[in-house]
Homo-oligomer: A and B are copies of this chain.
Amino acid sequence: MIKSGDRVLVLTDDDSRYLITLKEGGIFGTHLGNILHEEIIGKEYGDVIKIGRSLAYLLKPGIVDHIFTLNRRTQIVYPKDMGFIILMLDIKDGDLVIECGAGSGSMTGAFARFVGPNGRVVSYERREKFMERARENVSRLGLEKRVTFKLKDIEEGIDETNADAFFLDIPEPVPHLKNVLNSLKGGGRFCVLCPTTNQVQDVLEALKELGAVDVEVWEIFVRKMKTNPKRFRPEDRMVGHTAYLIFGVKVSRGGEIG
């Protein structure tokens, strides 16, 4: 049963989407008319309400809805990349995952979800406002207890040394790769996200010297299709680029890396 305080995704019959945090006495304006929060409280997910003469559906926002409605200042990691990263980093329940920076907290939330109740995410971010925003965004998923936010530049070092996975998404990744590898346990996996080919080249060069193995670079495209069954066809426009994804594994090589 949907109750006050819950976040509900209202999908109208003409495919508009509204994300509402319910409170008693609340009113929410849509292009079809107002919704009284009370009309929603007490209903079940999947139920139908009326806005004026139109129908609207009460859905539970999923992680993808969450990503696209983040309170954000920075680029987000798109679902197309996020799912692939989760698999390639082999994220699973109980893992210790480190990320830097927190950005808007989109990957933070995904990691927090997939490490499960016994896992842990440590998120390094040197800008306090970003950290707070990321924390708030993770809270919306109800997963803030799984995340430790650290207001710190990783140039000063990374406290952890036995991480299962590391996700690095910062403007200048190269100087920090050695620290990233040292924070991982043997066989630990990392992902570096780079928008430009120049950066990818520099990261690849550095990873070679640092002795990372199983290094792969991937690019992911998604294309949405129109859903008219009589006129099935792709949408006219698509996302052309978000970032290149670099993956690799840390190995020991008999002690210190680098």
The chain A residues found within 8 Å of chain B, CB to CB, are 11, 44-48, 57-60, 62-64, 79-80, 82-90, 92-93, 110, 113-114, 116-117, 185-189, 195-198, 200-202, 204-205, 208, 213-242, 244, 249-254
Does A189 contact B62, Cβ atoms closer than 8 Å?
yes
* Contacts beyond the supplied A59-B187, A196-B232, A235-B241: 4 A-B pairs with Cβ under 8 Å: A80-B84, A83-B86, A86-B87, A238-B241
A186 to B226 CA separation, bound complex (whole angstroms): 25
A235-B224 contact in complex given A88-B64, A189-B62, C-beta closer than 8 Å: no
Does A44 contact B252, Cβ atoms closer than 8 Å?
yes
Identical copies in the complex: 4
Does A214 contact B83, Cβ atoms closer than 8 Å?
no
A230 to B197 CA separation, bound complex (whole angstroms): 9
Chain B contacts for A79, CB-based, 8 A: 84, 87-88
| 15 A–B contacts from the bound complex (CB under 8 Å) | A46-B249, A46-B250, A46-B252, A57-B251, A59-B251, A82-B87, A196-B232, A197-B233, A200-B225, A216-B227, A217-B227, A218-B223, A224-B240, A236-B241, A237-B237
Does B64 contact A233, Cβ atoms closer than 8 Å?
no
Chain B contacts for A87, CB-based, 8 A: 62-64, 79, 82-83, 86, 110
Of B45, B88, B197, B249, which is within 8 A of A197 by CB?
A: B197
Chain B contacts for A62, CB-based, 8 A: 87-90, 189
Does A231 contact B187, Cβ atoms closer than 8 Å?
no
Residue from the set A237, A240, A253 with the largest chain B CB neighbour count within 10 Å: A240
A240 to B200 CA separation, bound complex (whole angstroms): 18
- A139 → chain B closest CB, angstroms: 16
Chain B contacts for A219, CB-based, 8 A: 222-223, 225, 234
Residue from the set A219, A231, A232 with the largest chain B CB neighbour count within 10 Å: A232
